[in-house]
């Protein structure tokens, strides 16, 4: 089922887009948890990490390449940052279209 992220990809609702290519889009999180909080999203609708298949291997690589480029563009690559993907209820996933949270711009606390 299409989520809010597909609506952002299709320009049906606005977002502050910081990066886009054929397969990946990245935009600012509406409720940032750090000075830099970007959501990196594949255009393909994959609900959770559990749904990634062999055919998505290259796409997942594209996501990390995009993350590296975005981090450099936003000037956080050298100081460092964190990449998180939540999965299902215990992981705290709210939007069921996989995405990587790119968090940085300050020294982050412990993970949980």
Is the CB of residue 26 less than 8 Å from the CB of residue 40? yes
Taking residues 17 to 56 in sequence order and writing x for each that binds ligand 5GP by CB under 6 A, - otherwise, the string is: ----------xxxxx-------x-----------------
Distance CA 71, CA 69 (A): 5
Smallest distance, ligand 5GP to C-beta of residue 12, A: 11
Q: For residues 54 and 92, which CB has a smaller minimum distance to ligand 5GP in the complex?
A: 92
Using the rule CB under 6 A, is 109 a contact of ligand 5GP?
no
Ramachandran category for residue 11: left, alpha or beta (phi over 0 → left; psi -120 to 50 → alpha): left
Q: Return the number of other C-beta atoms located less than 10 Å from residue 82's C-beta.
A: 12
Which stretches of the chain bind ligand 5GP, using CB under 6 A?
4, 15, 27-31, 39, 86, 92-95
What residues act catalytically?
99
């Amino acid at each position: 089922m299409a989520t809010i992220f597909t609506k952002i990809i299709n320009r049906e609702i606005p977002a502050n887009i910081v990066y886009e290519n054929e397969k990946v889009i990245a935009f600012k999180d509406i409720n940032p948890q750090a000075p830099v909080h970007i959501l990196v999203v594949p255009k393909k609708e994959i609900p959770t990490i559990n749904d990634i298949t062999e055919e998505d291997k290259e796409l997942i690589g594209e996501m990390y390449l995009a993350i590296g480029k975005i981090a450099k563009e936003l000037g956080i690559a050298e100081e460092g940052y964190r990449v998180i993907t939540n999965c299902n209820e215990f992981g705290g996933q709210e939007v069921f279209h996989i995405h990587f949270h790119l968090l940085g711009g300050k020294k982050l606390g412990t993970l949980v």
